Amino acid sequence: MKQSLSLVESKPHYEILDGLRGVAALLVVLFHVFEVHSHGDHSKQIINHGYLAVDFFFLLSGYVISYAYDDRWGKMTLKDFFKRRIIRLHPMIIIGSIIGAILFYFQDSQGLGWGGIHEVPVWTMLLVMLIGFTLIPIGKGLDIRGWSEMHPLNGPAWSLFYEYIANIVYALFLRRVSKIILGTLVLVAACVTIHYALTNSNGDIIGGWSVDSTQLRIGFTRLAFPFLAGMLLAKTAKLYYTKHAFLTASLLLVVLFSIPRLGGSENIWMNGLYECFCLIIMFPLIVWLGAGGKVNGKKASKICKFLGDISYPIYITHFPIVYVYMAWVTNNNLSLEQSWHIGLLCAIISILVAYVSMRFYDIPVREWLRKRFLSK
């Protein structure tokens, strides 16, 4: 039996969406741990579509920001909004860059193209770290890893660069548009996504982490549809209570991310079509299920809260640890069967580092910043 929920009468906290964000973050960690064993061959990647977690995060972000802030304008200024978002996001960006700097010289690997890491002067590495604090993308002259990442000490920070852009565009423009205009923008963004996915030479939409015309196009393409669709979903969707929503939505994420690459090298469009299906159909469905569901019992509530609390810290701190694992596996020419236990340890350490960073750094720093800058 389904029970209609009103978006107007109350503003509940979406515990299930918190939990789903954590599930997606854990899948990203596993995706990156397995990635080194695929040797660049996407068809050998175990969690093949794990990179789509970024697009899922953008969708969640659009939904939550619209839900949380749309009716607060008038009581809240642009300055207030930007302060809230910076306080929420930026402390962990800084600690992610610091962890990346601490582990940088443990990542030498000729096989991965990082053989010159020990030749990078400390002052250059520290300069890259400080630039990383700001989220300003670096140029080629400071590409100290050689992978053309806009943040070479902590690769996943690229998506926070786009997240900030989405927040700025939302505050300056998107919050003012009508549902009809927003729906039109969603449709256009969906068409752009489908066109790119079906016509690019890779048959996927992975990318966005470099500062060049191709990668910037991918990054903005990946940002546009999910963020806009999340906003539209928050503004228009009528939610219904569904039993076991968290379990159902979590399993859907695991299955969608784990489906093997489709079409092979001859029909790469099939893989692009599948990823469009995930982005345009399934991810909004999963968020809709999660937003309409309820967590039953204190234990389930604690699990969702923990996953939600740890999701962003895991995402923004895990990759420097994975860099070390990648270098070790490549330098020793190890298979997954030979190194799975260290890969598991890498994932566990990533969770522990994220928890410690959250508990003893992020939470107290954000609390201090809120009291200092939001109390007036």
Confidence of residue 86 (pLDDT cuts 50, 70, 90): very high
- Cα–Cα distance for residue pair 62/146, rounded to 1 Å: 33
Nearest Cα residue to 98 out of 150, 151, 34:
151
Measured over the CA atoms of residue 162, residue 163, residue 168 and residue 172, the dihedral's sign is positive
Domain that holds residue 234: 4-373
Structural tokens at position 92: 């962990």
Measured over the CA atoms of residue 29, residue 276, residue 278 and residue 233, the dihedral's sign is positive
What's residue 264's pLDDT? 85
What's residue 39's pLDDT? 82
Confidence of residue 5 (pLDDT cuts 50, 70, 90): very low
CB atoms within 10 A of CB 101: 19
Is residue 10 scored above 50 in pLDDT? Answer: no
Counted domains in the chain: 1
Q: What percent of the chain has pLDDT over 70?
A: 97
Is residue 260 scored above 60 in pLDDT? Answer: yes
What's residue 118's pLDDT? 92
Between 45 and 224, the more confident residue is 224
CB atoms within 10 A of CB 131: 18
CA dihedral 242, 250, 11, 9 (to 10 degrees): -20
Is residue 7 scored above 60 in pLDDT? Answer: no
Q: Which residue has the tokens 């860059």?
A: 97
- Write down how long the chain is: 376
What's residue 375's pLDDT? 64
Confidence of residue 242 (pLDDT cuts 50, 70, 90): confident
The predicted model gives 305-327 an average pLDDT of 97
Nearest Cα residue to 166 out of 118, 221, 214:
221
What's residue 364's pLDDT? 97
Is residue 224 scored above 90 in pLDDT? Answer: yes
- Cα–Cα distance for residue pair 310/351, rounded to 1 Å: 8
- Cα angle: 289, vertex 290, 293; to 5 degrees: 85
The predicted model gives 330-339 an average pLDDT of 95
Is residue 6 scored above 70 in pLDDT? Answer: no
The predicted model gives 47-68 an average pLDDT of 97
What's residue 11's pLDDT? 67
Confidence of residue 284 (pLDDT cuts 50, 70, 90): very high
80-83's contacts with Cβ under 8 Å and 24+ in sequence apart are 80/374, 81/167, 81/171, 82/167, 82/168, 82/171, 83/373, 83/374
The predicted model gives 12-38 an average pLDDT of 94
Of 33-47, 67-81, 158-172, 307-321, the least confident: 33-47
What's residue 285's pLDDT? 98
CB atoms within 10 A of CB 91: 22
The predicted model gives 264-292 an average pLDDT of 95
Is residue 111 scored above 80 in pLDDT? Answer: yes
